[in-house]
Amino acid sequence: MDKYSGKSVFGGIAIGKIRIFQKGRQEIKNIKADNPKAEISRFNEAKTKAIEGLQELYEKALKEAGEQSAAILQIHQIMLNDIDYTNSVEGIITNQNVTAEFAVAITRDYFYEMFSSMEDEYMKARAADVKDISERVIRILCNDNSRPTDSKVPSIIIADDLAPSETVQLDKDLVLAFVTVHGSPNSHTAILARTMGIPAITNVDIPLNWSINGRMAVVDGYNGVIYVDPDSEFVKEMQFLQEKELYKRKLLLELKGKDNVTLDGKKMTLYANIGNTKDLASVTENDASGVGLFRSEFIYFEKNSLPSEEEQFQIYKTAAESLKGKRVVIRTLDIGTDKQADYLNLEEEENPAMGLRAIRISLTNLELFKTQLRAIYRASAYGNIAVMYPFITSVEEVSEIKDITEEVKKELDFKGIDYSHDIEEGIMIETPAAALISDKLAKVVDFFSIGTNDLSSYAMAIDRQNTKTDRFYNPHHLAVLRMIKMVVDNAHKNGIHAGICGELGSDLSLTETFLKIGVDELSVSPSMILPLRDKIRKTDTSNLNLEYDL
Ligand code: PEP
Ligand code: MG
């Protein structure tokens, strides 16, 4: 049995076979080829396989997500059959004596550039599609068609690293655990693993070669360890732990329907963080009071082009309706740093964490912003929706947003489209600037939600993705805790509520501190709702000795 250690992202035990996750972009090792005819046949066989695979996916998507979402898979099939595309690949093979995969890669880059530089938005969006179809063919060519990611058996996924857009597209039912060689426990991929409630470890020094693919393994998410080829005694031990875990979970389920109230009567609301409508079931299963953070950007990651107003509307409406009057806080697009959607074609920046991200993108691209706002406002007629803006740093930004929301409301009024007139508008406090002027901001918004992931990062000047700085990162840094207290105090002085929606909210060692500070609500991964309820119900805030000098 081989043991590899890393950092825990989400606890839990998983036992199963390893499946190596391949990146969208396959490394091409063989470039030169001496038999162009054979390469052209390889290309055509791979293309046929890719089209067959896309047809299967199309039928699956049609059943699960409807015609509109499935349509792209048909477009991909048409693109693969495109004569110019095929001629380009075959021409490169013949003229340059190169392998089929290399010729596809050159064609991919050429077509990608061509589509990206087009004026027409629809054609521009095809750049991501051509990349996608080419990489599908390259994967088949590089792997003798035995791409393990197409396995239908639930497995332990091992990858070098996973981007949020890749994680979100994995079929949750086929993932027992995530193990990555790189990546940080604070990344959005880690957050997604927690939202999905799947054991996950990162920074694991495991050799990522095909020899481990398909081998048995045990992941201990609590201790951040993966054991490859465990003996049967060890597997039994871990199965026992798994059963104990299940039993604990059952005990927690008895807390469903109970209040989040301390022994001395202090209440706190517990909301769930979600990334798409698939997560809605776990909101109800875990008895959350609603959704405190709907990371709407994940809707954008699940697609190869911008989601339309109608598509977004349907998603927000589903969320509002299925939560039957419970609050759903939709955060507008928060793209940037590790959260990227290729088709947006955002320029590379020297320092993306401080660059054009989140609300800055929305305020720069008004059509994108208004499309999303219209969808949110329209959906507000079907439930209890609130809207929240990410990465705010000034009162002026809030005024600019308000002008835009007024325009959107006027447009809807003009068209006679229904929406809620009491929709609350809040902001994320996730920059030190916002925390330090929270007295001013509290006068112009309806609520605050503290994004401790970014707030901690900017307070300590530490990139949340960079594992080299881990030893300098203190999640309980006094600066962050003091800012939280300041924000809550300023909110209350101005009669608004303040919650926490960053990962710190689920840190059970801070629950007492947050209760004492007076945080009104915590929004956490659905699986953390009941453990937090348990903690709150066992706490007496009247006799707490807090360790922090707030
Ligand atoms: C945060 O920064 O704490 C937050 C909740 O936003 P995100 O993690 O999506 O950046
Ligand atoms: Mg944030």
And the tokens for 99? Answer: 């392998």
Confidence of residue 151 (pLDDT cuts 50, 70, 90): low
Q: Tokens at residue 431, please?
A: 């920059």
Please report the pLDDT score of residue 45 as a whole number: 94
DSSP 415-440: HT----TT--EEEEE-SHHHHHTHHH
Lowest mean pLDDT among 9-13, 65-69, 70-74, 172-176: 65-69
Helices (H) and strands (E) in the chain, counts: 20, 16
- DSSP at 370: H
Q: What is the DSSP string of 440-461?
A: HHTTT-SEEEE-HHHHHHHHHT
**Are 452 and 502 contacting, i.e. CB atoms less than 8 angstroms apart?**
yes
Contact residues for 280 (Cβ-Cβ < 8 A; gap 6+): 274, 318, 319, 322, 323
On the CB side of 297, CA atoms within 13 Å amount to 23
Cα of 107 vs centre of ligand 2, distance in Å, is: 37
Residue 200 DSSP SS3: strand
Identity of the amino acid at 134: S
**Predicted structure pTM score:** 0.75
Q: Which pLDDT belongs to residue 146?
A: 36
Please, which residues bridge with residue 276 across strands? Answer: none
If you take atom 9 of ligand 1, which residue's CA is the nearest one? 295
Closest CA to 9 of 227, 161, 173, 166: 161
Burial profile 179-195: b = 16 or more Cβ within 10 angstroms, e = fewer: bbbebbbbbbbbbbbbb
**Does the beta carbon of 452 lie inside 6 Å of ligand 1?**
yes
Q: Would the pLDDT of 520 be above 80?
A: yes
Round the CA-based radius of gyration of the chain to a whole number and report it: 25
Which helix or strand (DSSP H or E) is residue 327 part of? strand 327-331
Q: Best of 184, 186, 295 to mutate for ligand 1, by most ligand atoms within 8 A of CB? A: 295
Residue closest via CA to ligand 1's atom 4 equals 451
Question: Looking at the predicted structure, is the pLDDT value of residue 304 above 90?
Answer: no
Q: What share of the chain is helix, strand, coil (3-state, %, to 5)?
A: 55, 15, 30
What is the fold of 262-539?
TIM Barrel (3.20.20)
Please report which confidence band the pLDDT of residue 65 belongs to, taking 50, 70 and 90 as the band edges. low
Q: Whose CA is nearest to atom 6 of ligand 1?
A: 451
CA distances from 404 to 148, 388, 389, 391, 440 (A): 47, 14, 13, 17, 20
Domain segments of the chain as ranges: 2-23+147-238, 36-141, 262-539
pLDDT tens digit string along 178-227?
Answer: 999 988 777 777 887 888 889 999 999 998 876 788 899 999 999 999 99
- Return the ligand 1 atom nearest residue 451 CA: 3
Sign of CA dihedral 224, 226, 231, 232: positive
How would you write 263-324 as a 3-class SS string? CCCCECEEEEEECCHHHHHHHHHCCCCEEEEEECHHHHHCCCCCCCHHHHHHHHHHHHHHCC
- Contact between residue 510 and residue 476 where contact means Cβ atoms under 8 Å apart: yes
pLDDT of residue 48: 95
Which residue in the block uniquely carries the two structure tokens 């509520």? 497
Q: Give the architecture (CATH level 2) of 2-23+147-238.
A: 3-Layer(bba) Sandwich (3.50)
- How far is residue 259's CA from residue 102's CA, in Å, rounded to a whole number? 60
Fold classified for 36-141: Enzyme I; Chain A, domain 2 (1.10.274)
Whether 492 is catalytic: no
For 410, the token pair is 């006027």
**Both structure tokens of 212:** 């481990």
Asked whether the predicted pLDDT for residue 145 surpasses 50, the reply is no
| Confidence tier at 328 by pLDDT (50, 70, 90) | very high
Q: How far is the CA of 435 from the centre of ligand 1 (A)?
A: 15
C-beta of 453 in contact with ligand 1 (< 6 A)? yes
Contact status, residue 449 vs residue 329, Cβ threshold 8 Å: yes
Greatest mean pLDDT among 37-51, 66-80, 427-441 lies in 427-441
Per-residue pLDDT at 294 exceeds 50: yes
Q: Is the pLDDT of residue 148 over 70?
A: no
**For strand 216-220 and strand 225-228, is the pairing parallel, antiparallel, or unpaired?**
antiparallel
| 152 — pLDDT class (breaks 50, 70, 90) | confident
Greatest mean pLDDT among 149-153, 178-182, 301-305 lies in: 178-182
Sign (positive or negative) of CA dihedral 303, 308, 310, 316: positive
Q: How far is CA 412 from CA 25, 26, 419, in A?
A: 43, 46, 8
Distance linking the first and last C-alpha atoms of the chain:
48
Q: How far apart are CA 480 and CA 455, in angstroms?
A: 7
Residue 441, pLDDT above cutoff 90: yes
76 labelled catalytic: no
- The whole-number pLDDT of residue 31 equals 79
The β-bridge relationship of strands 175-180 and 521-524 is unpaired
Is residue 534 lining ligand 1, measured as CB closer than 6 Å?
Answer: no
Other Cβ atoms within 10 Å of 76 Cβ, number: 23
Q: What is the dihedral of CA 435, 440, 444, 450, to 10 degrees?
A: 10
How far away, in angstroms, is 329 Cα from ligand 1 center? 14
Both tokens assigned to 59: 């039928």
Residue of 333, 334, 506, 507 to test ligand 1 pocket, by largest number of atoms within 8 Å of CB? 334
Which one is catalytic: 76, 142, 188, 497? Answer: 188
Ligand 1 centroid – CA 183 distance (Å): 16
Report which ligand 1 atom has the smallest distance to the Cα of 454.
2
The amino acid occupying position 172 is: K
- Using an 8 Å Cβ cutoff, are 227 and 5 in contact? no
